[in-house]
Each structure stands twice: as structure tokens, then as C-alpha cells.
Chain A
Amino acid sequence: MSNSFVPQTSTAVQCFHCGEDCNEKPVIIQEKSFCCEGCKMVYEILNQSGMCDYYAISKNPGTSQRVKIRADKFAFLDDKKIQASLLSFTNESETHVNFYLPQMHCSSCLWLLENLHRLNKNVISSKVNFERKEADIVFDHRSISMHQLADLLASIGYEPYISFNDLKKNRPSLNASKIYKLGVAGFCFANIMLLSFPEYLGIDSHEAYLQGAFRYLNVLLSLPVFFYSSSEFYISAWKSLKHRFLNIDAPIVLAVVVAFGRSLYEVFSGTGAGYFDSMSGIVFFMLVGRVLQDKTYQELSFERDYKAYFPIAVMRIIDGNAVSVSLPEIKLNDTLLIHNQELIPADGILTMGKALIDYSFVTGESIPVEKQMGEIIYAGGKQIAGNIEMLVIKEVAQSYLTKLWNRAELHTETVLEERSFVHLLSRYFTVILFTIASLAALYWYIHDSSRIWQVVTAVLIVACPCALLLSNTFTNGNILRRLGRNQFYLRNAQTIEEIAKVNYIVFDKTGTLTTGRYQDIVYEGVSIEPSIIKKIAALAAQSTHPMSKAIVEWSGELQPKHTGIKSFQELPGKGIEGIVDGDSIVMGSAIFVTKKTEGTTLQSAVYVSVNNQVLGRFGFRNHYRPQIPALLQQLQKLGYPICVLSGDNAGEQQNLQKLLGIGAPIYFNQKPEDKLEVIKQFQLLGKKVMMIGDGLNDAGALKQADVGIAISENSSHFTPASDVIMEASVLPKLYQYIRLCKANKQLVMTAFVVSILYNIVGISFAVQGNLSPMVAAILMPASSLSILLVSFGASNFLSWKMGFK
């Protein structure tokens, strides 16, 4: 806590634009320091247009511009077909387009993006949707092209993210029908209550015509409730009946229909006022519960498939010219130009350049793979060293990755909802209810058969399991909200129950237990003098290989001086060598450096020799997320067996086994379908499996598992389809989340028991044939409100006790 009050020490200069550490050599302009040229450039652009308010609204609002964007990255936007698929409206003078801008994060961003027209007068207007991180931009296409617009956004640090997914405009619109139904139900409920008051308080006999008027108005007002607002429940009940299943909505529909029918009869026969207020009240409160429970996270998508990762277009080489082509149009035998940091969209053969491909997202391998000309490269990998050319041997839809995704078994939607204990409970409840109703009917048949109908309908109305439904939806809704506030986002309420049932946990390694990108380096061997370390770093800095980069980082040299390097050579797949200030240094694989073939281990290592003397080696270890060992031990202690599935090689086996204990199953070299199979095997043994993963390679397993949790470094970024999206930083708290989900059931039951008390009172009136509309009208809101209080109060108290926000 105290740290936050200590002012920044003067040694670390923050970038005026992005707030990052400026290291030793900040770029200084107008007494402001920047960490890199990119950030400075953004500042200059904004300064020229007098838009430095950007920096006044929030402090260091930008994002780091150290990684430069390729100049013609958005060239594909000149393609008319791609343009047409992206824009939402166009006429002769203006075009509307919607861009996803993942860099958007603060109010400065909002201000800048909504003032784009001040930066470029050809932009007519722009409107930001902050939750979705999208901007609707209207521009004059006669003076600025979509390509230029994208470049403009990129130049101020908001690079639009345009993926293959955008080709088909299938953005789900927010389903507001429940909200409409709720609004209508609320309106009718309130007015019916108002109109029922005279009935309860008594109307003078000489004003009897008023009574009739009020009753008929009630009938009118109840029509929208019965025919429109309640349709939610009719549909759900009908669906479950068609599956020969009695869900909780069925008895509720029965109660609504009975209440409506009896009330109509009473009004038209002039025998009473009916239960319109109770009926509309029930529907209103139940809709409130549903709406609360169905809160969705607009900014997240639980249904992403590979299309969201793929670019919308790549460069195809035709007669020596690179022309952009959209993904579905890529044909066999096309030659594609893949730039640095771009995704490979289709399987193909490398024909030019040196490929260094990061498959971590597809296969889970933590170290990029080098490929030589003539080798096959698979779709989904990311090229990270220079530009390459490739010959397509399989179209996008046929490639290894897409085929995996399109496997039929991943798309069978199971009807999850009906597994909920609430439906089971409601069935018992319904049985009890019918028993009471028939006993009451029997009793009245003997004593006063004219009142049977009245009593039975009263019992059915007052005792419908709406209290159970209410307690369930309100508690679920509140727990979902609580979890979401703590960066644990559930796809729907049913997931809470599924999490509570889990008894087996499977982790992915790369990107989940480890951070994937960062590697710990361990140096083993003769100690090296600091002056030699500097030279090694200088040599390593010449190479773009991630291992070299890691060694530079390890050396602590931020910007190694690269003067005095002679005869530098990089041999793909082997290593690098060169003479630094008179010392000949060789770094690379064991065979390359030591010239011996034996003694090489699986573990990736870089050997180093100076002047033909082998000094030692750099071992690379996966970097585990903080507190992961503690979490694994905690889970095991609490009786959750743990298994680790990794697409990586077995280099990390010993380390992992130490973490998990001797018995724990750990599988390496798992292809995506292997992972899915392993999960299936566990399920066949009767386990409820929770799978926690992050990459495309886990997508099948995530879907197969009873609960699939996708780990995300940044919730706005890309996660495979899953039931839960979880911020990586809260992973150590996994057990607390499970506990809260487990508590959910008890909370629902508690609220339900409270409401049963009201039901008992109501039924005792009903079986005696004394359920006046007034008693029903008091009992119904009272029970609903107490359920609300109990479920909100108890779940808030519990989550507070568990240390949640």
C-alpha cells in the first residue's frame, strides 16, 4: 500500500506518451521524454493538430509504439471486395465503417478517437463504443480511402484489428427482447396493482360501476403480460416437454395459465376480481431474475474460432507483383508473401527466405521452429523473422488447423440447462403440489363439492415454484456479477453448477502454467568475466532468434554496443559465430559448438565457447506464472487430482513432476486431438473434468471438458471458445472461484427455504378455500422481496468473506 504514495524516483523516466520506462536514452522533444521514435511521432502528429488535450485527460494515455507497423500492412483495404465486406453503409459522398481497436483503454483514447475529424478533415465523424472497443467512423471516401483511414488510426497508435471473421458480417446483435418483455410486464404489473387497491380497500355500494370498470381495465392490462411477457416461459416449457422433460418452467406456466383463466372467469361471471396482480407480479419478478442472470459480457466472446485469429487478407505474388488477396480466394499453388509477424493462413511449402515459426498458439511448443526452404509449414504459425514466400498446398478451409476446428463432435451442443439441480427439485416440488391439491380436492368433494374448483386453482396459483426459480436466478445473477468483477467471466449461469461439480483438473502447460513467451535462463559452466558477458551479449544482439534475444536480456545489457564485431555469421538451425574485439565467440547447439554428438539433452540449450574453449551452456526453462506451484499444491491437497497436457517436448518433465508429485499424469507432445482424447478418457472414468488452457491447440479439449476455462492475458484479446474466460493474473485464486461456485447451491437452497415458509402460509389459506386476492397480493411480493434480500445479502457476504471485490 505504502508504495503507491511514494513519488516516482527520478532514475526511471516515464515516456510522456505511453508511460513506459524510457531506459537510458529517452527521445526528448519540447522537454518531454519518449521511450521510442514511435511514441514521439504520435505526439508530434497530435501536437500539430493542437490535440494535446489527449495528454491532459489521463496520464500517459498511449500504448507503446516500439514495435513498428509495416508500411503497407493495410494495402488489402484497397481491394473493393474486402472493402465491401467491411463497410456498413455507403453512398456517393460518405462511407460508414466499424473498426475494432484493441488498443483503446482509457478516456483519452475515447476523446482522441471521437475527435478524429480534427486530425483529418475528411473524417466526417466517429463514435466509440467503449465496451466493445469499436469505433464507428464516417468518412468521405472521395478524399480518403479506407486504407488511408486505417493508416491514420495506426499512426496515432490505434491499429485496427481486422480478421478473417470480419468477412462475414455476423456480429450478434444484443438480444433485447427480454428487456422489452420486462418493461411491458413492469408497466402492467404496477397499473394492475393500482387498480386493485379499491377492490381490497372496499368500494361503496353506490359506486359499483367503478368496480366493474377497474376489473375490466385489469383484464385489458393483463393481456400483454399473459400473451407477450410470459412467452419466455411458454417457449422454454414447451421445448422441455418436447424432450419429454419437465423443467421448472412447466409448473410456472401451469400457474400462470390457471391464474389467468380463473381470473377471467371471475371477472366475466362477476364473482370476484381475480388474481391479475399476483400473476403479473410473478411474471415481472421472474423476468427480472432472468435478465439479471443473462447479463452478458459484450466485450468478450465465448464462441471464437480460428477465423478471429486469421488475417482477412494476405499478399499473393502474381508475376513478381505482390497483390493482396482475401483468404477464401487463396488457391492451390498460389505463392504467398508472408511478412514478419504475420500468421500463415494455409499449409504450404517454404520457397523463399528463412522461416522461424512460432507455433506456440497452435501446438503449445514454447520455442519457435526453424524451417528450411522446401519444408512444409502449417497454417496458424506466426512467422517471426523476416519475410518469406510459400507455395500453397492446401486451401485455407482444408488446412490442418481448420480441419481440426471443423470436426463435427466439437459442434454438437448439449442441452446443458436441463442438468441443473433446480429442475430436479422443481419436479419433486410439483409432485408435492399436486398431492396437496388433490388431497384438498378430495376433502372439499366430501364437504362442499361446489368449492373444489376454487380451492384447487388457488393452490396451484399460490404454490407455483416461482420462488425456487427466483432464488435460483437472483443468486446466479449475483454470483456471475461478483465473479465478473474479479476477472472470471462465465459464459452463462449453468457454468456455475458445472464448476461446482468438477472433480478433476487438467492444465495446459505453455501459456497457462507458464507465461509461454518468457523463459528463465540458467547458465551452467565456468563463470564468465563481465567483460566477456558484454561481448557475448553484443554478438547475440546480432541475431533475431528468440534464444539470442533472451541471452541479451539475461546479460543485463540494454543496448549492447555492436562496434568491433567481425565476420559475424548466422547458420540456421546451428548457431551464430563472430569475432568481438579480438575474441572469437561461438554460440549455438551442442553439436555446433562442442563438435561432439553425445551428451545432448532434450532440453533446449545454447552452448557458448570463447576462443575455442567451451565455457558452458545456457539452459532454458519455462517461466511459471507466479504462485502456480502453491496453487497446484492447494488443489491437490483439497482432493482435486491434477493432470498436465502439453504440446511441448518433454524437456520440462522433471521440473513439472517435482511440482505435481510422483503420481500425477503428465503428457507431452500432445497434438490437439490427443488432448481431446485424454479428456474423453477421463470422462469415461466418470470424472467431471475442468480443462484450463489458452491456445488454439486446447480448443478441442476446452470444448470437450465439462468446464473449459480459457486463460487470457488481456480479456479483450483472443481466447478460444470456452465456458469461462479468466484473466491470467487471477489464476492463483482458482480455488476461491471454485468455492464460490460451490456455495451457490447452498445459497439457492437457503433462499428457497425462506420462500417455502411463505408458500406454507399461502397454501394453508388456499386449502381452506380462503385465499382472497388480497392475501395473494401481499404474499407474492413479500416472498419475492425476501428472496431478493436473502440471495443478494448472503452471496455478497460470502464473496466478501472469501476476499473477493
Chain B
Amino acid sequence: MSVILILLMASISVAALFLAAFLWSVRSGQYDDEISPPLRMLHDNSISQNIDTTNTTTTLKPIN
């Protein structure tokens, strides 16, 4: 029944990968600032929207 042992190794190495990912994320400072990243994400959106609206208004103006 060595297949169980193989599966076991596989599962532990996957878990170890996650552990490594966690340690890396802490080391690279991803938890240092918990406020800016979520806000940053929102801004990406708002800028593209605003650019869209300004574009449409400028194209509409000459027609009026």
C-alpha cells in the first residue's frame, strides 16, 4: 500500500508550498500596510471610468 505514502508525500509537499508562500508574503512586506492596497485597487477603476467620461464629453461638445 505504498500509494498512501506517495499521496502523503504529495500532500505534505503541497502544504509545504503554501507554508513557503506564506513566509514569503510576510517577508516581502505584504502585511505591512493593510490600508493602501485595497484603496489602490478602487482607484484603478475610478480613473479608467473618468477617462471614459471625459472622452465622451469632449467628443460631444463640437456637435452641440
Contact = CB atoms under 8 A, between A and B. Distances in A.
A207 B1 contact: yes
A213 interface: yes
Contacts of A179: 26, 31
A187 B36 contact: no
Contacts of B4: 210
Contacts of A130: 33, 35-36, 39
A191 B39 contact: no
A128 interface: yes
Interface string A120-138: 0000000011111000000
Contacts of B52: none
A174 B8 contact: no
Nearest to B19: A187
A191 B47 contact: no
B23 A132 contact: no
B5 A213 contact: yes
A370 interface: no
Contacts of B10: none
Given A110-B43, A210-B1, A180 B23 contact: yes
Contacts of B36: 110, 128-131
B59 interface: no
Interface string A188-211: 001100110000000000010010
B19 A131 contact: no
Contact of A56 (B22, B27, B34, B46): B46
A699 to B, nearest CB: 29
Interface of chain A, main secondary structure: helix
B47 A107 contact: no
A652 B18 CA distance: 64
A779 interface: no
B33 A114 contact: no
Given A176-B27, A210-B4, A191 B35 contact: no
Contacts of B61: none
Interface in B1-34: 1, 4-5, 8, 11-12, 15-16, 18-19, 22-23, 26-27, 31-34
A56 B40 CA distance: 15
Contacts of A56: 46, 50
A184 interface: yes
A183 B43 contact: no
B12 A191 contact: yes
A217 B8 contact: yes
Contacts of B12: 191, 217
B11 to A, nearest CB: 8
A107 B33 contact: no
Contacts of B60: none
Nearest to B16: A187
A53 interface: yes
A630 interface: no
Interface in A40-66: 53, 56-57
B40 A110 contact: yes
A131 B35 CA distance: 7
A477 B11 CA distance: 34
A788 B39 CA distance: 32
B23 A183 contact: yes
Contacts of A110: 36, 39-40, 43
A785 B23 CA distance: 25
B43 A107 contact: yes
A2 to B, nearest CB: 31
A506 to B, nearest CB: 36
Contacts of B50: 53, 56
B63 interface: no
Nearest to A179: B26
A443 B62 CA distance: 101
A670 to B, nearest CB: 40
A129 B33 contact: yes
Contacts of A191: 12, 15
Nearest to A187: B19
Contacts of A129: 32-33, 36
A624 interface: no
B42 A107 contact: yes
B48 to A, nearest CB: 10
A234 interface: no
Given A110-B39, A190-B15, A210-B4, A57 B22 contact: no
Nearest to A129: B33
B15 A180 contact: no
Given A129-B32, A180-B26, A187-B15, 4 more contacts: A57-B43, A107-B43, A128-B36, A210-B5
Interface of A: 53, 56-57, 107, 110-111, 114, 128-132, 174, 176, 179-180, 183-184, 187, 190-191, 194-195, 207, 210, 213, 217, 298
Closest 9 CB pairs of A and B: A130-B35, A130-B36, A187-B19, A107-B39, A129-B33, A111-B43, A183-B22, A131-B33, A176-B26
27 contacts: A53-B47, A56-B46, A107-B42, A111-B47, A114-B43, A128-B36, A129-B32, A129-B33, A130-B39, A131-B33, A132-B33, A174-B32, A179-B31, A180-B23, A180-B26, A183-B22, A183-B23, A187-B16, A187-B19, A190-B15, A191-B12, A195-B8, A210-B1, A210-B4, A213-B5, A217-B8, A298-B32
